[in-house]
Amino acid sequence: MQPIRIFFKKEGRAKYISHLDLNRVMQRALRRACIPVWRTQGFNPHPYIAFGLPLSLFYESDCEVMDARLDGDMSLSEVKKRLSEQMPEGIEITAVKRPEHKLTDICFASYQLSLEFDGMAKKDLEDMLSKVMSNEQIIIEKKTKHRTVELDVKKYFESADIVVSDGLIRIDVTVPAGPTENLNPAFFATAFEKYGVKPDFENVRRLRLLTKDMNIFS
């Protein structure tokens, strides 16, 4: 049995496929592609697959990860070819490899956020941004399973690469991700709403997954 790791993009209409639904989409795709994947041996056998970091609904991604196990002979390039043919609109297989890291090695994720502010010129947005940044702390509320915690996110505003143009703030940022600590970059929009102006629309794209040493997860 050979563990394999499948990398794919998720964009366009596919951003409306929830994490739960993605599981079903992939199960069926593996079946149609006739890829000999190992099946769970329980009461209701199904192909074993595991996903890396779940992606929020409405987010796009260049770097989604799915693990499976090959139970039979098939080259990785053949797996990629067959699976690619079976992907719905908006999902594109970018690579099929032998896994290098463990799924739990994911520690950080980089995102690009495009926040749209209708009718606001570049100058207005720059002023708004510096007003937000002038606060000693930028506190947002983060809901966990059991409680709500307050979190100062100012350090992410400082570390982010922020580009302002007419009606648009573009943010490139790396935040903690993975099983131990995970932060959804949606807090930028929340912070703008609280300390400045609420964005009218937001697009988020996950660019890469990183390990503890800031290496690309692969």
Partner 1 sequence: MDKKVEMALRKVQKPARYTGGELNSVIKDKHNVDVRFAFCFPDIYEIGMSHLGGKILYGLLNSIDYVWCERVFAPWFDFEEQMRCNGIHLYGLESGDDISTFDFIGFSLMYEMSYTNVLNMLDLAGIPIRSADRKDLSPIVILGGPCACNPEPLAPFADIVCLGEGEETLCEVIELYRKCKINKLSKTEFLKKAAKINGVYVPSFYDVDYNEDGTVKAVTPNVSEAPAIVRKSVVKDFDKAYFPDKFVVPYIDIVHDRAMLELFRGCIRGCRFCQAGFIYRPIRSRKPETLNRQASLLCKTTGYDEISLSSLSTSDYRYLPELMPELMDWTEKEGVSLSLPSLRVDNFSRSLMEKISSVRKSSLTFAPEAGTQRLRDAINKNVSEDEIFKTCRLAFEGGWTSVKLYFMLGLPTETMKDVEGIAELSQRIVDTYYSMPNRPKGKSVNVSISVATFVPKPFTPFQWEAQDTSEMIIEKQQHLREAIKSKKISLSCHENHTSFLEAVLARGDRRLADVIETAWRSGCHFDSWDEGFDYDKWMDAFKKCGIDPAFYANRKRSFDEVLPWDHIFYGVNKKFLQRENEKAYRNETSFNCREKCGACGASILTGGVCNAAD
Q: How far is the CB of 49 from partner 1 (least distance, A)?
A: 13
Identify the three-state secondary structure at position 125: helix
Cβ nearer to partner 1, comparing 83 with 210: 83
d(CA 198, CA 191): 8
Cβ nearer to partner 1, comparing 118 with 150: 118
Cβ nearer to partner 1, comparing 47 with 178: 47
Which residues are bridge partners to 66 per DSSP? 6, 51
Cβ proximity of 24 and 41 under 8 Å: no
Q: How far is the CB of 17 from partner 1 (least distance, A)?
A: 5
Q: How many residues bind partner 1 (CB under 8 A)?
A: 27
DSSP state of 88: P
Joined tokens for residue 83: 């699976």
- Please select the residue that binds partner 1; options are 3, 58, 95, 141, rule is CB under 8 A: 58
H helices of 71-207, in order, are 76-85, 122-133, 154-159, 187-195
Cβ nearer to partner 1, comparing 3 with 58: 58
| Chain residues that interact with partner 1, rule: CB under 8 A | 12-14, 16-18, 21, 24-25, 27-32, 39, 44-46, 57-58, 86, 88-90, 200-201
